[in-house]
Amino acid sequence: MSAVTIELGSDGILVATMDLPGRPMNVVGDALMDGIAAAIERLADPKALGLILTSAKADFCAGGDLDSMSKWTRPEQPFEASMAMKKVLRQLELQGKPVVSAINGHALGGGLEIALACHARIAMADPRLKIGQPEVKLGLLPGGGGTQRLPRLVGIQQALQIMVEGNDMSPQQAQKIGLVADLAADRAELMAKARAWVLAHPAAKQPWDEPRFRFPGGDSRSPAVAQLFTVAPSMASAKSWGNYPAIQHIMSSVFEGGLLDFDSACIVESRYFAACSMSPESRNLIATMWYQLNAIKKGASRPAGVPASKVKKLGILGAGMMGGGIAYVSAKAGIEVVLLDTSAEAAARGKAYSQGLLDKAVTKGRSTPDKRDALLARITPTTDYALLAGCELVIEAVFEDRAIKAEVTKKAEGVLGASATFASNTSTLPITGLAQASVRPKNFIGLHFFSPVDKMPLVEIIVGAQTSDETLAHGFDYVLQIGKTPIVVNDSRGFYTSRVFATYLAEGIAMLKEGVHPRSIEVAGQQAGMPMPPLALQDEVSLSLSLHVFEQTRKDLAAEGKTVVEHPGTSVVRQLCEIGRVGKKAGKGFYDWGPEGRTLWPELTKLYPPAAQQPDQRELIDRLMFAQANEAARCWQEKVLRSVADANIGSIFGWGFAPFQGGALQFIDAMGAKAFVVRARELAAKFGPRFEPAALVVEQAEKGGRFAD
Ligand code: NAD
């Protein structure tokens, strides 16, 4: 079966319908491009007046075929593949008859590039339909002519924004900027409008093939665009710290292409495409943000054999910051929510959190009063446990206190059905211990949300010693139901995310104690690709909370007859807490926090005077990243982690581990265990045994093997 079926209508219009066999979506690869080439050949038929390119699948075309791209090992391969695709697309626009794309679904990446090679684009008016060039998000650039056609169609500035940010547009937005010629209400209208367009434009030509073509807004030589190029690259670098070479490559391709004729510009683009495809950043992003994320979403960590479930009624105990947020995201997903607290006022405050978010959305035009009211009507604030009857799931988000958690668990179980799942949102208390308060520990699980709940994409599911597969599957299904990404980990102190995240903060703080200038520490965090520098982040988390967790851990371990090794950073946290500098919530920590933002506390360098000899930034960056990666490896070794995908996605979505590194374990895989062990040992010799590489990585270095194997 061919990837593109071609039919000549009685009106003389060829319709080429993309429908890649055996794939849920159309993706750009040899099969699809061969099909388009065949359609071009058919256009040579004198009876054919023009061509409509559309798709039989739900999407128009979703992008490049990452499976084949992942096999490239030499830069010639992406270069040649990109040139071959462009050869077909160039023929498509130069063969002399009008071609229009009828965009019936998402047109992304290579899909949009195909549409750009048509003389016009008509799209369904569905605002959920996505149009865009998201390649940059996987460390790539549009290599099918996108960096050349888009600027020539919508102007360099607009095109750069689309490609550098990688965000999708709705068809309405695309029409506004002149990317789409017309919109259609349904499929019949789409095809009718496409036919009419072909018949009305017998001599269609691309603007860039007109002899007097001018870039809209000017080419790279024009003063306005030249000015743009003096600031845009440095602005992008200020944000990305140079960790995303695809951004620079896109800009270079557009800039250089804007000095050249179209065909030469296409060659330049292919060279930059090859550079992106071969980059470790793109390899890491594709491995994690594409393959591993998709595996997670498809349920790789969910026990097979348990039927899929849906929560219709959810109970939430504790209507504070977390409870209020969980109520919002759940009601948004259509779930009835009972939001319980100790007083009617506290419960109402929890619901008011949703009201606040929704009012803002209505003001900004992102929601309507009707939708807001319907969502709010699904949240019932109460103090009455009887209302929990019939809930399939209850999530506890009361104070972080074992006794209170035990009490609410018992009260809730008194009214819940035997099959209901009980989840705790604890951030630090081991789940197996909390489950002791439950009469059915098999139904007990950890669902660790992140703050702010409405923004953070991850939920860490914690499996206690007695948690059943059914309970895990229920928890997993619920997390997907509310549109979040689940990772599954085994029970342990700090679970996975809090435990590894803490090493980033602690390492940064330890540097301060050694006399590293605080500004160097903060810059190192950002150079490393972390979303926030360590000292500022510790202020956000609050120093008193971290100290409390540390003291609790010390007490718990002492009760087990164990001693805890204090991280060198802890004494700094203790000292600042003693003088009331507990973090952002107090307006003071490592920084002074004011309405204007944060500034480093001037006295900090008096308390911790910077050494005369400051270390190399590379060493600081390595310390911050090795501390995290090594702790993640230990979590793997101790079987806290159950899959590499969970480790990598959990690190990026949970605490913002540098995405271009592909996650905490991919960091080691990409570097290679041997190199990791050598550097980790150097750091251990200089800064302490916490850097001694995890035994498993040492074994990988000696015998071969990677986490992802
Ligand atoms: P919070 O103080 O904002 O809210 C706790 C709520 O629980 C309050 O409204 C309180 O009135 C209510 N509550 C206390 N005792 C109760 C009882 N017996 N019955 C019913 N309600 C009761 O706290 P939070 O930040 O929302 O944290 C809640 C839980 O979530 C804690 O276990 C915390 O460790 C965990 N958590 C917090 C974060 C975070 O960033 N804040 C992140 C992940 C997990």
pLDDT of 609-623, one tens digit each? 999 999 999 999 999
User: In the block, which residue shows the tokens 């290579």?
Assistant: 110
Q: How many CB atoms lie within 10 A of CB 155?
A: 19
Mutate to test the pocket of ligand 1, among 316, 321, 326 (most ligand atoms within 8 A of CB): 321
Supply the pTM of this predicted model. Answer: 0.93
**Average of pLDDT values for 696-700?**
98
Q: For residue 103, what pLDDT is reported?
A: 98
Measured CA to CA, the distance from residue 523 to residue 616 in angstroms comes to: 12
Q: How many CB atoms lie within 10 A of CB 605?
A: 15
Q: Does ligand 1 lie within 6 Å of residue 396's CB atom? A: no
- The string of pLDDT tens digits covering residues 292-350 is 999 999 999 999 999 999 999 999 999 999 999 999 999 999 999 999 999 999 999 99
Measured CA to CA, the distance from residue 207 to residue 231 in angstroms comes to: 28
Measured CA to CA, the distance from residue 306 to residue 251 in angstroms comes to: 49
Residue 538's alpha-carbon distances to 20, 375, 449, 534, 541, in angstroms, are 50, 35, 19, 6, 5
Alpha-carbon dihedral sign for residues 43, 46, 51, 55 = negative
Measured CA to CA, the distance from residue 345 to residue 351 in angstroms comes to: 10
Phi and psi at residue 281, to the nearest 5°: -60, -45
Q: Does ligand 1 lie within 6 Å of residue 338's CB atom? A: no
pLDDT above 90 covers a percentage of the chain that reads 95
Q: For residue 563, what pLDDT is reported?
A: 87
Q: Does ligand 1 lie within 6 Å of residue 424's CB atom? A: no
Q: For residue 206, what pLDDT is reported?
A: 98
Is 448 a known active-site residue? yes
Measured CA to CA, the distance from residue 461 to residue 467 in angstroms comes to: 11
Q: Does ligand 1 lie within 6 Å of residue 387's CB atom? A: no
Measured CA to CA, the distance from residue 225 to residue 220 in angstroms comes to: 6
Q: For residue 552, what pLDDT is reported?
A: 87
Burial of residue 261, with CB atoms counted within 10 A of its CB: 0-12 exposed, 13-18 middle, 19 or more buried? exposed
Q: For residue 697, what pLDDT is reported?
A: 98
Find out whether 340 and 387 touch, Cβ atoms under 8 Å. Answer: yes
Mean of per-residue pLDDT scores for the chain: 96
Going by pLDDT thresholds of 50, 70 and 90, the confidence category of residue 565 is: confident
- Å from CA of 422 to ligand 1 middle: 16
- The string of pLDDT tens digits covering residues 92-150 is 999 999 999 999 999 999 999 999 999 999 999 999 999 999 999 999 999 999 999 99
Q: Does ligand 1 lie within 6 Å of residue 14's CB atom? A: no
Going by pLDDT thresholds of 50, 70 and 90, the confidence category of residue 556 is: confident
Atom 16 of ligand 1, nearest CA residue: 398
Q: Does ligand 1 lie within 6 Å of residue 399's CB atom? A: yes
Find out whether 471 and 595 touch, Cβ atoms under 8 Å. Answer: no
pLDDT above 70 covers a percentage of the chain that reads 100
Least confident of 14-18, 135-139, 458-462, 546-550: 546-550
Q: For residue 495, what pLDDT is reported?
A: 94
- The string of pLDDT tens digits covering residues 144-201 is 999 999 999 999 999 999 999 999 999 999 999 999 999 999 999 999 999 999 999 9
Q: For residue 689, what pLDDT is reported?
A: 96
In this predicted model, which residue has the larger pLDDT, 238 or 459?
A: 459
Measured CA to CA, the distance from residue 256 to residue 662 in angstroms comes to: 30
Residue 326's alpha-carbon distances to 318, 322, 448, in angstroms, are 10, 6, 11
Going by pLDDT thresholds of 50, 70 and 90, the confidence category of residue 446 is: very high
**Average of pLDDT values for 409-420?**
96
**Average of pLDDT values for 265-276?**
98
**Average of pLDDT values for 401-412?**
96
Query: What angle, rounded to 10 degrees, do the helices at 695-703 and 617-637 form?
Result: 90
Mutate to test the pocket of ligand 1, among 342, 399, 549 (most ligand atoms within 8 A of CB): 399
Question: Which of the residues 448, 474, 517, 567 is marked catalytic?
Answer: 448
